[in-house]
Structure 1
């Protein structure tokens, strides 16, 4: 397994994995599969996102196959530039439980540590997602809040747990 920052040439594979994530884990993302497939030129949008300063998307590869992703995004506004956020964490089901998520998240944390000015990383996770919560706890993320009814999926409300990892 290789972990590396994605480049624009990885955009088609990223988009395919993103659609899989939205289809198979709809409770883990704010974007729905239905909304995603309506986008115009989605691969071009991914290319654009991958080249934005302060936006770091890492991929886990098994040979040529992209099997997992995570995005670290540094805040741009002056007063909150000390913060970064973890978004769009996903590992394809057949590779879950093998350390792929931990390797991806560790790479994102190390990247944040290497950027002057980033002091903490925030993330949100659906409160019922025990495997993800276990991983985040293992890597030092602490709960700082719970948003009740953060999302509504097929008539069911889901709570979000907000977590933080202080780097300094």
Structure 2
């Protein structure tokens, strides 16, 4: 397993994994497959340019098997916070420590950034495996966003979690 900071050169494989994630786990993301399926590779190249966020990829057997994005806030009043988004590991590569390694890379980056004191994330309230991972890494739940997502008339709650760094 190798964890690297993705660059625009990884855009094609990132796009493929992102669309797979949105299709296979729609309740885990606020974006939908339908919204992103028409995005070009250049859209993902911009996303991975590293100017406003840091996206890490987990490679196993030369395959991009998982990703996570760290987004530090830039507004003066909240720039002590960073957010973790788009955490995903392909189903066939789960239970191998990739999720933990990706999260650790994002947490380490947040700790390196000047002024970051908190890392926030949201997780589907019914995703016990993800919640257990986040709890094991020092995150704690501070609230629940009821009916946060509406997917074809079915609502999903999200837990709001934070880790102090």
- TM-score category of the 2 structures, normalised to the smaller one: over 0.9
How many residues are treated as equivalent by the alignment? Answer: 165
| Unaligned runs of at least 5 residues, structure 1 | none
Contact 2:7–2:50 at 8 Å: present in 1 too? no
Q: Which residue of 2 aligns with 1:145?
A: 143
Query: For the residues of structure 2 that align with 1:140 and 1:54, how far apart are their CA atoms?
Result: 25
Query: For the residues of structure 1 that align with 2:151 and 2:65, how far apart are their CA atoms?
Result: 25
Q: CA deviation at 1:20?
A: 0.4
Query: For the residues of structure 1 that align with 2:42 and 2:49, how far apart are their CA atoms?
Result: 11
Deviations 1:113-137 (A, max 9, x none): 0111111100000100111000000
Q: CA deviation at 1:65?
A: 0.7
Q: Which residue of 2 aligns with 1:44?
A: 42
Q: CA deviation at 1:78?
A: 1.1
Q: Which residue of 2 aligns with 1:104?
A: 102
Secondary structure of the residue aligned to 2:30 is coil
**Length-normalised TM-score, structure 1:** 0.95
- 1:1-168 equivalences under 5 Å are 1-39=1-39, 41=40, 43-167=41-165
Query: For the residues of structure 1 that align with 2:35 and 2:6, how far apart are their CA atoms?
Result: 24
Q: CA deviation at 1:35?
A: 1.3
Deviates more, 1:142-151 or 1:46-55: 46-55
Deviations 1:38-95 (A, max 9, x none): 33x2x11111111142410000001321000000000011111110000000000011
Secondary structure of the residue aligned to 1:22 is helix
Structure 1 stretches of 4+ with a deviation exceeding 6 A read none
**Length-normalised TM-score, structure 2:** 0.97
| Unaligned runs of at least 5 residues, structure 2 | none
